[in-house]
């Protein structure tokens, strides 16, 4: 059946338009919002460091932070989780007298302006790898057994860093003689303004076992309507559907947050350990992720092509590669995307294949093998002109 010339022209133009849309559409940004893999030199303090992505500031300190909060090698790993860099090793100070600067190792970091969590009817996921280390002391365990007595884990805050702004904690709070200390990974509520709200819901996994912590927060409508679910070391190969029942849950709480604190409590108690004194906390943290889906917090922490760790591949990443081209012994932050120690065309190709369209025209001039959106625009215009010419004839 013969097709009317005008219809033929429109069909061709529509087809080319679809091709153009597919080729020119910006790459969808990953659902991962915040990442920290502690890609800092071995033995260096994380205070003042600005790596990772999705943050609005550098790591900053409270208490004695800066001397015992260091990036150390190697990083922590977990089956099925892509990991990078080193890990954070932190320890509270063990003092024998009160300290005006505080003995706890607390380091804070704020999320970017777009990464504030708590909107009604939304879901947020977060994950990290952790392990408590050090000695136990005291007699707060079952049958008077020694336990880890000082806080360790990650606490999440909203609107500030005072105790009244702390919403919840993943890890372990400082123990109390009023309850049995289980030394398990747990979801915790610490409310300095209302102690009746304080709550610990432990999992079944010892906190000194290196574990992958996965948390889903479902934000309800109104205040005290949020819930959190904790899974400890799930089988990631089974996907979200295979997580099974949560090991710990919080319900009917306010769990909004816009910053976090990695915590290891210090001690100003006697150093007579473990008989009488309280041992300061210490531990390891790595691979912090916050995102909008299960898939986002078990995916690679830095997306392919992302040199500067801002979770988007754009012209800024290209500039780093260009400025360090042929640099030997380079790090990822200098443009070495495939970790072979050299910034070269392989790294440029990784950037190019993941580049958001329209993020920098000068980069297009370096790659003639891949058709560029501008070329496709010219091709579309030429095709439409050709079709229109046939209609006129």
> pLDDT tens digits, residue range 213-268?
999 999 999 989 999 999 999 999 999 999 999 999 999 999 999 999 999 998 88
Q: What's the full length of the chain, in residues?
A: 393
Rg (the chain; Cα; Å): 26
pLDDT band for position 331 (50/70/90)?
confident
127-176 pLDDT, tens per residue? Answer: 999 999 999 987 888 888 889 989 999 999 999 999 889 999 999 999 87
User: Rounded to an integer, what distance in angstroms lies between the CA atom of residue 210 and that of residue 165?
Assistant: 28
Please report the pLDDT score of residue 339 as a whole number. Answer: 73
- Fold of the domain spanning 32-297: Jelly Rolls (2.60.120)
Q: Could you tell me which of 316, 281, 371, 301 has the C-alpha nearest to residue 33?
A: 301
Q: Could you tell me which of 68, 48, 177 has the C-alpha nearest to residue 133?
A: 68
User: Rounded to an integer, what distance in angstroms lies between the CA atom of residue 253 and that of residue 267?
Assistant: 30
Region of poorest pLDDT, from 68-77, 220-229, 273-282, 290-299: 273-282
Please report the pLDDT score of residue 13 as a whole number. Answer: 43
Residues 6+ apart with CB under 8 A from 393: none
Pairing of strands 248-253, 259-264: unpaired
Return left, alpha or beta for 118; rule: phi > 0 is left, psi -120 to 50 is alpha, else beta.
left
Place of tokens 């003689």: 177
pLDDT of 67 higher than 60: yes
pLDDT of 276 higher than 80: no
Mean pLDDT computed over 176-203: 84
- Taking the model in full, what pTM does it have? 0.77
pLDDT band for position 26 (50/70/90)?
very low
Q: CA separation (Å) from 59 to 31, 49, 105, 171? A: 23, 6, 12, 20
The whole-chain average pLDDT of the chain stands at 82
The two structure tokens encoding residue 161: 């860093």
Please report the pLDDT score of residue 390 as a whole number. Answer: 46
Helix (H) / strand (E) element for 30: namely none
Mean pLDDT computed over 20-29: 38
pLDDT band for position 103 (50/70/90)?
confident
Q: Could you tell me which of 93, 92, 75 has the C-alpha nearest to residue 84?
A: 75
Return left, alpha or beta for 61; rule: phi > 0 is left, psi -120 to 50 is alpha, else beta.
beta
Please report the pLDDT score of residue 14 as a whole number. Answer: 46
| Domain boundaries along the sequence of the chain | 12-30+307-393, 32-297
Mean pLDDT computed over 321-332: 90
pLDDT of 24 higher than 90: no
How many Cβ atoms from other residues are within 10 Å of residue 278's Cβ? 22
Q: Could you tell me which of 221, 219, 217, 227 has the C-alpha nearest to residue 294?
A: 217
The two structure tokens encoding residue 121: 């009817």
In this structure, are residues 69 and 105 in contact, taking their beta carbons and an 8 Å threshold? yes
User: Rounded to an integer, what distance in angstroms lies between the CA atom of residue 66 and that of residue 107?
Assistant: 8
Please report the pLDDT score of residue 278 as a whole number. Answer: 86
In this structure, are residues 320 and 169 in contact, taking their beta carbons and an 8 Å threshold? no
Place of tokens 């300190």: 61
Please report the pLDDT score of residue 393 as a whole number. Answer: 41
pLDDT of 9 higher than 90: no
Angle at 34 between CA 332 and CA 350, to 5 degrees: 35
* Residue 109 or 386, more confident: 109
Q: Could you tell me which of 290, 257, 265 has the C-alpha nearest to residue 166?
A: 257
Report the SS3 class of residue 283. Answer: strand
Residues 6+ apart with CB under 8 A from 21: none
């Amino acid at each position: 059946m013969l097709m009317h010339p005008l219809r033929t022209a429109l069909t061709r133009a529509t087809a080319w338009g679809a091709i153009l849309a597919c080729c020119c559409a910006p790459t969808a940004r990953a659902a991962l919002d915040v990442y920290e893999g502690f890609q800092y030199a071995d033995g260096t303090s994380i205070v003042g460091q600005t790596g990772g992505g999705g943050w609005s500031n550098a790591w900053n300190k409270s208490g004695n932070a800066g001397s015992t909060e260091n990036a150390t090698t190697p990083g922590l790993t977990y089956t099925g989780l892509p990991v990078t860099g080193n890990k954070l090793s932190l320890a509270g100070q063990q003092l024998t007298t009160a300290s005006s600067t505080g003995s706890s190792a607390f380091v804070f970091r704020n999320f970017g302006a777009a990464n504030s969590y708590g909107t009604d009817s939304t879901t947020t996921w977060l994950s990290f790898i952790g392990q408590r280390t050090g000695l136990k002391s005291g007699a707060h365990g079952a049958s008077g057994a020694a336990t880890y007595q000082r806080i360790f884990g990650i606490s999440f805050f909203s609107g500030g860093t005072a105790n009244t702004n702390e919403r919840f904690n993943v890890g372990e709070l400082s123990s109390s003689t009023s309850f049995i200390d289980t030394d398990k990974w747990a979801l915790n509520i610490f409310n300095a303004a209302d102690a009746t709200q304080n709550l610990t819901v432990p999992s079944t996994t010892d906190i000194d076992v290196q574990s992958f912590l996965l948390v889903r927060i479902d934000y309800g409508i109104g205040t005290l309507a949020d819930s959190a679910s904790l899974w400890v070391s799930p089988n990631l190969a089974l996907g979200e559907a295979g997580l099974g029942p949560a090991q710990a849950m919080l319900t009917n709480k306010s769990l909004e947050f816009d910053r976090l604190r990695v915590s290891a409590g210090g001690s100003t108690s006697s150093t007579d350990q473990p008989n009488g004194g309280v041992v300061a906390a210490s531990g390891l943290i790595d691979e912090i992720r916050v995102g909008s889906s299960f898939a986002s917090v078990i995916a690679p922490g830095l997306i392919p092509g992302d040199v500067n760790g801002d979770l988007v591949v754009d012209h800024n990443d290209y500039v780093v590669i260009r400025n360090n081209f042929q640099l030997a012994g380079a790090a990822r932050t200098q443009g070495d995307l495939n970790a072979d120690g050299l910034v070269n065309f392989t790294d440029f190709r990784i950037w190019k294949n993941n580049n958001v369209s329209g993020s920098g025209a000068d980069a297009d001039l370096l790659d003639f093998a891949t058709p560029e959106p501008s070329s496709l625009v010219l091709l579309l215009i030429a095709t439409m002109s050709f079709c229109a010419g046939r209609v006129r004839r």
